[in-house]
Amino acid sequence: SGISDKLVPIKSQGISLAEAISTLPSCPGEKDVSLEVKILGGSGEFNFSWQDFSTSSSSKLVNIGAGEYTLIVTDQSGCGLATFKVSLKDPEPMRLIGEPEVTMTTCSDSEDGGFKIKVAGGNPPYRVEGLESVWDGVYLKVSGLSAGEFNLYILDGKGCSIPVKGKVMGAT
């Protein structure tokens, strides 16, 4: 009669989202995050829908910043649906506490002036590239400046920066 006397349904496992692999933004406002959601179960064939990211059709987003992200995963065989939500936050920004405490040069043409300043946030240790700088856990001490105005950038351990400016007085 052409009809099987036994019909055995194939049961497919539902889907679940196991984990997200992400890197946090290196600096406040940066869009250097990679986010990937791992899928378990299902048929192996999935449709991906990121809210607010209609251009991505995979389980991965790249070059994104801090924000709220939602991924809806649908099994193409109709065996399941799962939603993944994550909130990525910017790291705490660096901030200067007070004004630089400036050290004058010993001679008008020497380069032995400097400053110290309290720095917080970001990712210690802090430094100023191209100059001798020492972070003691509270203050950043910078030396090697000549008399005159300075406009420098303090960098943290991840390369985030904050400007600092002041004036080194020369001995007369």
Encode pLDDT of 15-54 as tens digits. 777 767 667 788 999 999 888 888 888 778 899 999 988 7
pTM as predicted: 0.72
Integer Cα distance of 163 and 142 in angstroms:
14
Position 116 pLDDT exceeds 60: yes
Position 3 pLDDT exceeds 60: no
Q: What is the pLDDT of residue 21?
A: 67
Q: What is the pLDDT of residue 11?
A: 46
Residue 84 CB neighbours (<10 A) = 21
How sure is the predictor about 131, in pLDDT bands with cuts at 50, 70 and 90?
Answer: very high
Q: What is the pLDDT of residues 144-157, one digit of tens each?
A: 999 999 999 999 99
- More reliable by pLDDT, 17 or 167: 167
Q: What percent of the chain is predicted at pLDDT more than 70? A: 90
Sign of CA dihedral 132, 123, 90, 16: positive
Task: Say how many residues make up the chain.
Answer: 172
- In the predicted model, what is the mean pLDDT of the chain? 87
The CA angle 75-76-77, to the nearest 5 degrees, is 90
Average pLDDT over residues 49-67: 87
The two structure tokens encoding residue 12: 């497919």
Are 140 and 121 within 8 A, CB to CB?
A: no
